Homo-oligomer: A and B are copies of this chain.
Amino acid sequence: MGVLYGPKSYENEPHRDPSLIVNSKEPFNAETPPKALVRSFVTPEDLFYKRNHGPIPVIDDPNNYRLEIGGLVPGPLSLSLQDLRNLPKHTVTATLQCAGNRRTAMSKVRKVKGVGWAISALGNAVWGGARLHDVLELAGVRQESSKRHVEFSSVDVCKEENGGPYKASIPLSQAMSPEAEVILAYEMNGKELNRDHGFPLRVVVPGVIGARSVKWLTEIKVIEEECQGFFMQKDYKMFPPTVDWDNINWNSRRPLMDFPVQCAICSPAEGDLVKAGSKMKIQGYAVSGGGRGIERVDVSVDGGKTWQEAQRFQDDKEYIADNPEKCKRFAWVLWELTVELTNSPLEVVAKAVDAAANIQPEDVSSIWNLRGVLNTSWHRVKLNVVPPQSKL
């Protein structure tokens, strides 16, 4: 008894921070207030965005927890939490981002389907756990560039899976690569993982859309083909703007994995009152998938006519993209720029360039897609400028 299970009702949800911006109550989906997001390089667990597809799983006695490793492995295994803790512990600072981050803004072009998210469906944490590579090796898998996949199964009850659990997969080559740093995390920010984030165990796939970092993990299988679950095959794919619900062919597109370069302004916020003649600090985040660093963040206060480069930081230290000594490659950068305000109308715009010189699209309509994923268009914030003598 006491094994991990997914309840059908929402009677046993964990306590949540009241400052979270709630986008849906059941399942619970909520994001961080943007100004809180730029307060620290590592996002506090309580403020980290919550993304769920059903009630939060429950385990009465964590001693009874087992992780099953099976499928096409020479030696199937059943591991306890203690077994996992006995493996070498690896920590990775990684930003998880929901593919639906900034979806709400995409709906302004044309209505998209899915939970509405403003700009905070992402967070940066220090994840601690066993390397997936080490666990697969224990099961007899050897480093190989094979065509196989590794499937992760949860225990939650998802209506999209007709009451079945959430599933996803990644290529076996990524699972086995030391550079990919895929881990089975039992810790978040140095503390025991909490229920909202996957207690007792979750996968963390750095640089990849959050949807592949399966929470409440109970089974890992090496399989021949990629996972056929709903969230791999009928969701989290990006279609061109020409595809709508009447002409969609899900098989025509690949599941999203690495996310593209993203950037947003967290402070000030749309509509904030600012005083002409004063100084204003502009702050935000930028992040790219696949371990690509952030080479540059450009900020404009005149709607995109002129630009200045923002300063980038990680852990309050100056950041240099792709310098392994000076950057955590799976983590976001926080950036800031202080400008002196004039009387002119103010529209702040931010965009980033990643280490492979990838850029963000200027216009959201060029990347509009019916599921509203990966809105990475230039982020714009309009402010109200008041005269220098005004009281704010």
A interface, CB within 8 angstroms of B: 145, 147, 171, 173, 177-179, 238, 240-242, 253-254, 256-261, 289-290, 292, 295-296, 298, 306-309, 320-325, 353, 355-359, 361-363, 366-367, 374, 376
Known: A258-B292, A289-B356. 9 other contacts (CB 8 A): A145-B178, A171-B324, A240-B309, A254-B323, A257-B356, A258-B356, A259-B356, A359-B367, A362-B362
Number of copies: 2
Contacts of A296 in B (CB 8 A): 240, 253
The reply to whether B361 and A242 contact each other, CB–CB distance below 8 Å, is no
Residue of B at shortest CB range from A351?
Answer: B366
> In angstroms, how far is the closest chain B Cβ from the Cβ of A177?
7
Q: Can you give 11 contacting A-B residue pairs, CB < 8 Å?
A: A147-B324, A173-B179, A177-B179, A238-B353, A240-B298, A254-B355, A257-B322, A260-B358, A261-B358, A289-B356, A362-B362
Residue of B at shortest CB range from A252?
Answer: B309
Q: Is the interface of A mostly helix, strand, loop or mixed?
A: loop
CA–CA, A374 and B355, complex, Å: 13
Residue in B258, B292, B356 whose CB lies within 8 Å of A355? B258
The reply to whether B242 and A290 contact each other, CB–CB distance below 8 Å, is no
The reply to whether B306 and A242 contact each other, CB–CB distance below 8 Å, is yes
Residue in B147, B253, B323, B357 whose CB lies within 8 Å of A259? B357
The reply to whether B257 and A355 contact each other, CB–CB distance below 8 Å, is yes
The reply to whether A358 and B358 contact each other, CB–CB distance below 8 Å, is yes
CA–CA, A320 and B359, complex, Å: 24
Contacts of A259 in B (CB 8 A): 356-357
The reply to whether B290 and A254 contact each other, CB–CB distance below 8 Å, is no
Residue of B at shortest CB range from A323?
Answer: B254
Residue in B179, B295, B306 whose CB lies within 8 Å of A253? B295
Residue in B179, B295, B366 whose CB lies within 8 Å of A145? B179
Residue of B at shortest CB range from A308?
Answer: B242
CA–CA, A322 and B366, complex, Å: 23
The reply to whether A362 and B363 contact each other, CB–CB distance below 8 Å, is yes
A374 in contact with B362 given A240-B296, A309-B240 (CB within 8 Å): no
Contacts of A361 in B (CB 8 A): 359, 361-362
Contacts of A374 in B (CB 8 A): 357
Identify the interface centre among A254, A256, A324: most chain B CB within 10 Å of its CB: A254
Contacts of A290 in B (CB 8 A): 290, 292, 356
Contacts of A309 in B (CB 8 A): 240, 242
Contacts of A258 in B (CB 8 A): 292, 355-357
Identify the interface centre among A256, A353, A359, A376: most chain B CB within 10 Å of its CB: A359
Contacts of A323 in B (CB 8 A): 254
CA–CA, A207 and B324, complex, Å: 20
CA–CA, A290 and B289, complex, Å: 12
The reply to whether B357 and A362 contact each other, CB–CB distance below 8 Å, is no
> In angstroms, how far is the closest chain B Cβ from the Cβ of A231?
16
Contacts of A322 in B (CB 8 A): 171, 254, 257
